[in-house]
Structure 1
Amino acid sequence: MIDTHSHVFHRGLKLADARRYAPAYDAPLDLYLRQLDDNGITNGVLVQPSFLGTDNSYLVDCLTAAKGRLRGIAVVDPEASTNDLKLLNESGVVGLRLNLVGKPLPDLETPLWRGLLDKAHKLQWQVEVQRAAADLPALVSQLLNSGVDVVIDHYGLPDSQSGISDPGFVALTKLGATRRLWVKISAPYRTGADGKRIARAAYPVLRDALGRDRLLWGSDWPHTQFEGSQNYGKTLAFFTDMVGNAEDRAAILQNPRGLFRFG
């Protein structure tokens, strides 16, 4: 059973100059591993938090300390060298993250971005994207054209009013035919106050459009900016309730094994 979306950090780390948020608490590796143990989860994926920018050193330290139990998704500068990515790869990093919430959309057709995506493709890395659904179809199409596999965060973040009728969400589901698109059914609270209802509606649509084997579960621990209302057990319980079929749940919790190289 694999958790594909979590973050670790502590207040002593250097924060990125450009950031939307910085937590006033610690979420260290040992506490995350305790969440996995307490909830019967065998493996986890650490996603570089946006507020730490491109300094992946703590992420790498945690992957090393976890001795193969965890994998990582890094944030890098588009100018990162082949050697930079190779070192991350050797530490257990298996992909890049583009957290584009609140940021200008990058032009992925520029030589700089094409070069980075080519390096990622050669390492057989995935690219993980967090962005509102309205902008996802164009972004995902560009990424797929570069040859990389694509993972979308948090149901694709459909519009809180339109829900699964969001044209961006609808267009995203059609890209599932490529078989190179995965979606995390995680953090419904990030789609707004009605997020759980939207998640329950989105799940069967995503399952039917992408295939059950292209869905991933993530805890989103420690639920940054939603710490007061969420905890690990609660997020797992929502997943269990939403995916009522035990066979489906078991499959979704094992889907990440190949994509994240757990063997």
Structure 2
Amino acid sequence: MLDNCSITGIDAHAHVFSRTLTLAGERRYTPDYDATLADYFGHLHANGLSHGVLVQPSFLGTDNRYLLAALQQAPDRLRGVVVVERDIPRDTLHAMARSGVVGVRLNLVGRALPDFNEPGWKVFFEHIVELGWHVELHRELDDLPHLVRQLLPFGVELVIDHFGRPDARLGVEQRGFTELLELALGGHLWLKVSGIYRLGGSAAQNLEFAHQAIPLLQQSFGLHRLVWGSDWPHTQHEASIGYGAVMEQRQALGWSAQTEQALLIDTPRQLFGFHHA
């Protein structure tokens, strides 16, 4: 079993893929390079991190085979978050769990919002709760509070991607963000401090938003429900962002040792089940 000394830092959000894979027919992005597990581990090692969480990228759809193969190469150091069809067989979910999968991603960016009142969703989320998995929710901020209110009654643990994708230019007072902070007070809601460069403003505006948001997030979510992720390899932003730049952004936030310990080790260790390794 891993102990705290074995974990120097957990990157809670990254992707691996190859340009040779069959891509989803409906996609917003097509990679022209490979993001290999070896490359990812190189970045972790260079930055003093030891463990990572691999998230299925949207352009691979529900074909999780590349991600699952990566998990099998380093089962003690990796966990996975998959994208699946709602009617996926229960046995398939359990097989994924044995491979190190700990959650499913609902990537709703650019998609019509689902109707969670449909009976199939209840069965699906019952399986997720039974497995002890979380549901990772990726959508622009304006729709998030509504989606969270719909999903929480299912009893799932919800993880919000990339600060909730606010518009940094509108500041921390924007309605969707304040609603998200209020919803977090009820528990069962986590947030990934990741993708600062995806927040819609200039680099300075994005970083300033993150700087102002962190204390508010700590008050509402608590350090026990915040995790940090690199979002490597920074799809659609590769030309301007690298792993080193993301680390610099994190360091610019001036976190205390307590905050670093919580977001990089204690909280992701619990949320992603590294204590079971």
For the criterion TM > 0.5, the same-fold answer is yes
**Alignment pair present for 1:262 and 2:270:** no
Which residue of the partner structure matches residue 157 of structure 2?
Answer: 149
Question: 1:126, CA displacement in angstroms?
Answer: 0.2
Which residue of the partner structure matches residue 235 of structure 1?
Answer: 246
Question: 1:59, CA displacement in angstroms?
Answer: 0.5
Unaligned runs of at least 5 residues, structure 1: none
- Out of 157, 160, 167, the position equivalent to 1:159 is 167
Amino acid at match of 1:234: A
Tell me the TM-score normalised to structure 1 length.
Answer: 0.97
Which residue of the partner structure matches residue 245 of structure 1?
Answer: 256
Q: State the Cα deviation string for residues 52-72 of structure 1 (Å, max 9, x = none).
A: 000000000000011321000
Question: 1:246, CA displacement in angstroms?
Answer: 2.1
Which residue of the partner structure matches residue 116 of structure 1?
Answer: 124
Which consecutive segments of 4 or more residues in structure 1 shift more than 6 A?
none
Unaligned runs of at least 5 residues, structure 2: 1-8
Q: Distance in 1 between matches of 2:89 and 2:182?
A: 34
**Alignment pair present for 1:205 and 2:213:** no
Q: State the Cα deviation string for residues 182-226 of structure 1 (Å, max 9, x = none).
A: 111111111113322221121111111111111110000000011
Which residue of the partner structure matches residue 12 of structure 1?
Answer: 20
The question of whether the paired residues in 1 share the 8 Å contact of 2:75 and 2:100 is answered with no
Which residue of the partner structure matches residue 99 of structure 1?
Answer: 107
Question: 1:6, CA displacement in angstroms?
Answer: 0.2
Amino acid at match of 1:261: G
Amino acid at match of 1:110: E
**Alignment pair present for 1:54 and 2:66:** no
Which residue of the partner structure matches residue 27 of structure 1?
Answer: 35
Amino acid at match of 1:132: E
144-153 or 244-253: which moved more? Answer: 244-253
The question of whether the paired residues in 2 share the 8 Å contact of 1:186 and 1:217 is answered with yes
Q: Distance in 2 between matches of 1:22 and 1:16?
A: 9
Cα gap change, 1:243 to 1:153, in 2 (>3 Å): farther
Which residue of the partner structure matches residue 125 of structure 1?
Answer: 133
Which residue of the partner structure matches residue 83 of structure 2?
Answer: 75
Cα gap change, 1:243 to 1:83, in 2 (>3 Å): farther
Give 3-state SS (helix, strand or coil) of 2:274's partner: coil
Question: 1:241, CA displacement in angstroms?
Answer: 2.1
Question: 1:168, CA displacement in angstroms?
Answer: 1.2
Question: 1:163, CA displacement in angstroms?
Answer: 2.6
Question: 1:244, CA displacement in angstroms?
Answer: 2.9
Amino acid at match of 1:54: T
Q: Distance in 2 between matches of 1:261 and 1:145?
A: 23
Q: Distance in 1 between matches of 2:32 and 2:19?
A: 7
> Which structure has more RCO (C-alpha within 8 Å, separation ≥ 6)?
2
Q: Distance in 2 between matches of 1:172 and 1:24?
A: 36
Tell me the TM-score normalised to structure 2 length.
Answer: 0.92
Q: State the Cα deviation string for residues 78-116 of structure 1 (Å, max 9, x = none).
A: 111101111111110000001111111111121112211
**Alignment pair present for 1:41 and 2:49:** yes
The question of whether the paired residues in 2 share the 8 Å contact of 1:45 and 1:71 is answered with yes
Which residue of the partner structure matches residue 206 of structure 2?
Answer: 195
User: Number of aligned pairs?
Assistant: 263
Coordinate RMSD, CA, aligned: 1.1
Which residue of the partner structure matches residue 176 of structure 1?
Answer: 184
- Out of 138, 144, 154, the position equivalent to 1:136 is 144
Question: 1:237, CA displacement in angstroms?
Answer: 2.0
